[in-house]
Amino acid sequence: MSKWLLQPAAKPTVFALCLLPFIGLFYQALADQLGANPQEALIRATGDWALRFLCIVLAVTPLRVLSKTPSLARFRRMLGLFMYFYVLIHFLSYSGFDMGFDLAEIVADIIKRPFILVGALSLLLLTPLAATSFNAAIKALGAKRWKQLHKMIYAVAGLAVLHFFWMRAGKNNFAEVAVYAGILALLLGWRLRQFIHSRAKS
Amino acid sequence: MLIKTDRDGFIHPVSSEITSEKVYHDRRALIKLMAGGAAGAALAGWAGREAMAQAITAPGKHAALAGGKSNVAGAVTMDKLTDYKDASTYNNFYEFGTDKADPARNAGTLQTRPWTVSIEGLVKQPKTYGIEELLRLSAQEERIYRMRCVEGWSMVIPWVGYSLAELIKKVEPLGSAKYVEFVTLADPKTMPFVGSRVLEWPYVEGLRMDEAMNPLTLLTFGMYGEVLPNQNGAPVRLVVPWKYGFKSGKSIVKIRFTDKEPRTAWNKAAAQEYGFYSNVNPNVSHPRWSQVTERRIGEDGLFAKKRKTLMFNGYEAQVAQLYAGMDLQKLF
């Protein structure tokens, strides 16, 4: 496994895999396979994929440490940027299909609906992370400050679950929310434990 | 050489007698225009039926149930019909699951025969009707209604049924009866999600007596010229076109006449979000979203703009008088 991850073909392969959901949705939209309400289907599917990529990117470090596979770290940036990609399409789908790209309408909606506010806030917090993902930015910020900044992802994880929870609250339908909340709690809980351990040692 | 005479058939003496192709094609558009009111209210009903007459093709999925023409004002909207496929696969019927694809997947278990509907409460003639008798109680009519879901989407569906008023007259409510309660089936054996915590079961809906007596309120047995598919509320449901869709209970087993406002399912679940009346009203937003616009299902592809939601879902002329003097912001 560790060996494969270092192959030159590894990154393009992961890239292609990450793009598959997008290609799938694009094809389904063209082929009219998204059901009676394709706009709603797209908004929801892109949101699901954003949430899945959040879980995937947060799983990289625990997996790397637990499986002693340092080469996993090579993929973290790409996975993080793909998460941002799906968040952005999710937001664009909502803005376009639900709000007709009417800025005033979008602002009013953000103020009116707490779950939209929380979603918009997540996008806002993620944007500086995506913008500082390239090497020069890391250098300019300094590794320490860069790390501090990118801890914001933990806050986004909480907001994302809250966004999904409130969205499903109307139908009291929390089974799926619980799955994502459980996975993210596990991934963040592992970090908390590491943090406490490292403190105890020093 | 061929010499043509006027005996040769399709020959016109003067070319001006020939209807131009453009006018020929415009005929249907003209009829639609008339129905829109341009030719006056008297013609509108006739033209409306003419223009729509060819639009409904039976999907061939269920037993045929034809509806005759209706004389009720507002019975036939001119809006383009929603595809049968969309109307029968995108449903809210929580007894079969909360995803809108669930009912079509899961409702096959519903047993619609034998079926009875019991009439109870403040009536002179309480009675349990078998579904066959109920089907024959009055002439079936075709009603093409807009259907607006509280979630912000809408469809146009050709229902088959008769005014609930026909049944109400037969069972003779007492003077003390002020409300009608509709109790729907809650059978955990055939409905996998009865017992889920989303709502209290059975699903109960209600109308004020004058709303129930309004001729637009339809006791519905079919759609698209056939009996109702299970996922759309077979074998008998209510359709109240000027209210949000959830007011129209599916698979009804009991109709009760009462003197108190019934506690309805969504009102019990979230009173601040779903009032007893739940009339379609773009001016009263849902606490969690606006009701100003709606997405018409199946309309004009992915990038179609949402359309404006109409007061009382466009049935203002027929039902506004029911709410004269009421504060609809409070009694939403």
Identify any residues that bridge with B286 across adjacent strands, giving them in sequence order.
B289
Q: Helices in B67-173 by DSSP H: which ranges?
A: 84-87, 102-106, 131-136, 164-171
pLDDT of B103-156, one tens digit each?
A: 999 999 999 999 999 999 999 999 999 999 999 999 999 999 999 999 999 999
CA dist A103 and A92 (Å) reads: 12
Identify any residues that bridge with B252 across adjacent strands, giving them in sequence order.
B184
Assess contact for A97 and A39: CB atoms under 8 A. Answer: yes
Which residue in chain A has the smallest CA separation from B94?
A: A171
CA dist B61 and B191 (Å) reads: 22
HEC readout, B49-74:
HHHHCCCCCCCCCCCECCCECCCCCC
Chain B residues near residue A173 by CB distance under 8 angstroms: 98, 198
CB atoms within 10 A of CB A128: 13
More confident residue, B49 or A189: A189
Which pair of structure tokens corresponds to residue B136? 């024959």
Angle, to 10 degrees, between the axis of helix A114-131 and the axis of helix A143-150? 160
* pLDDT on residue A187: 97
The closest CB to that of B288, out of A36, A170, A172, belongs to A170
pLDDT at B46 over 60: no
Which pair of structure tokens corresponds to residue B5? 């005479």
Q: What is the reported pTM?
A: 0.82
Chain B residues near residue A177 by CB distance under 8 angstroms: none
What are the Cα distances from residue B205, in Å, to B167, B249, B251, B252, B329? 17, 6, 12, 10, 21
The closest CB to that of A38, out of B101, B289, B302, belongs to B302
pLDDT by 10s per residue, chain A, length 202: 678 888 889 999 999 999 999 999 999 999 989 999 999 999 999 999 999 999 999 999 999 999 999 999 999 999 999 999 999 999 999 999 999 899 999 999 999 889 999 999 999 999 999 999 999 999 999 999 999 999 999 999 999 999 999 998 877 778 899 999 999 999 999 999 999 998 887 6
pLDDT at B178 over 80: yes
* pLDDT on residue A5: 85
Q: Do residue B288 and residue A97 have CB atoms under 8 angstroms apart? A: no
* pLDDT on residue B24: 56
Which residue in chain B has the smallest CA separation from A101?
A: B305
The closest CB to that of B302, out of A29, A112, A115, belongs to A29
Q: What is the DSSP letter of B284?
A: S
CA dist A129 and A153 (Å) reads: 8
Assess contact for B304 and B292: CB atoms under 8 A. Answer: no
Supply the DSSP string of A7-54, one letter for each residue: STTHHHHHHHHHHHHHHHHHHHHHTT-S-S-HHHHHHHHHHHHHHHHH
Å from B243 to nearest chain A CA? 19
Assess contact for A52 and A99: CB atoms under 8 A. Answer: no
Q: How many CB contacts within 8 angstroms connect chain A with chain B? A: 46
Q: What is the DSSP letter of B248?
A: S
Point out the least confidently predicted range of A1-10, B70-79, B202-211, B301-310.
Answer: A1-10
ipTM score of the complex?
A: 0.79
Q: Helices in chain B by DSSP H: which ranges?
A: 21-33, 41-52, 84-87, 102-106, 131-136, 164-171, 209-213, 265-269, 316-319
Which residue in chain A has the smallest CA separation from B291?
A: A109
